A and B are shown apart, each in its own frame.
Chain A
Amino acid sequence: MRASITLAIVLVGLLGFTPPQRAWAVDPAQMSDPALQARYEVLIHELRCVQCEDNSLADSDASIAADLRHQIRDMLSAGKTDGEIKAYLVSRYSEFILFRPEYSWRNAWLWALPAVLLLLGVFVAVRVIRQRAALIDDDPVDDDAGVARP
């Protein structure tokens, strides 16, 4: 019993010594400039792997994802801005490659709809409450007068 507890403690303790694994460990690439590396990491988490669509470029070990990461590193090194890199990929793969769609008039209804529905709900609720309130008996005469109660 005691030995197994000791073993458990040792094993749990060992967990602390495992090298830190990150979720995107599929991508071992490191850019020499830490600032570029930081931008790179943000970008590959915001862009979708075009082949395995529910993964980001950061999570995917598909060959096309590796190629796209390589392309992004090259564009960063060449001094392109994040916006230029995204615009390039959108021009090739459509906006579908962005996990976060850009704001535009075309999809404005998507953002506006919850607010519109909320206002509609408030409007309906206020009307119903007002109608119900009007039904409350405010007659000063006691209707129950003279009625025998059990």
Chain B
Amino acid sequence: MNPRFLVPLAVFVGLVVVLAVGINHSRQVGVLQSPLVGHAIPQWELPMLTDPGRSLSSRELKGQWYVLNFWGTWCYACRAEHEQLLKAQRDARVQIIGVDWKDENAAALDWLSKLGNPYTQVVTDQDGRTAIDLGVAAAPESFLVNPEGVIVYKEPGVITPQSWQHEFLPRLPPQRGVPAPGAGS
């Protein structure tokens, strides 16, 4: 057989391979890969929900693992995530800092008293500046930050039992003391 007849076949196979790789590597619709993962979290300082006169900053959390969770009472998916956050709080492997994003303080306090408070601390980002500085596109989004202040993982959507199990927990050091959840908020 003339090997030249194999050329179209080879081109076709090549095309199939390219398209298959493209489809496999295509990002999930609506999910942005954060360029901040692996880098120091941009400095943030936000007022506390319960005491807006006081603030919490990334500097104060240096030396500790924490999850920074952006949420809002207007965010439907955050309600779906809440159960998992409460479970994660009970496991006490890492403290969860809530950022109530573009929200009313009263609504946020009401939400937490009704649904339970999974957060060690809750801060508010009413003008959304910090969210932009952290590349947040849509709530909920969460960052796992190590004691050096480096973002080691970003969850671009709802934290599910699966993502908690497979993305968050393996990155955390084996069981060690973390500040008791709920304290200080």
Contacts and interface: CB of A to CB of B under 8 A. Distances in A.
A104 interface: no
Interface in B12-57: 29-30, 32-36, 42
A67 B138 CA distance: 12
B157 interface: no
B129 interface: yes
Interface in A93-138: 93-94, 96
Contacts of B30: 53
A51 B138 contact: yes
Nearest to A67: B128
B32 A71 contact: no
B128 A91 contact: no
Nearest to A63: B102
Chain B CB count within 10 A is highest, among A51, A64, A71, for A64
Contacts of A76: none
A91 B35 contact: yes
A50 B32 contact: yes
Interface residues of B, number: 20
A68 interface: yes
B133 interface: yes
A64 B135 contact: no
A90 interface: yes
Nearest to A92: B135
Contacts of A92: 35-36, 42, 132-135
B131 interface: yes
B131 A96 contact: no
Given A53-B30, A92-B133, A64 B35 contact: no
Interface of A: 50-51, 53, 63-64, 67-68, 71, 90-94, 96
Interface of B: 29-30, 32-36, 42, 102, 127-129, 131-138
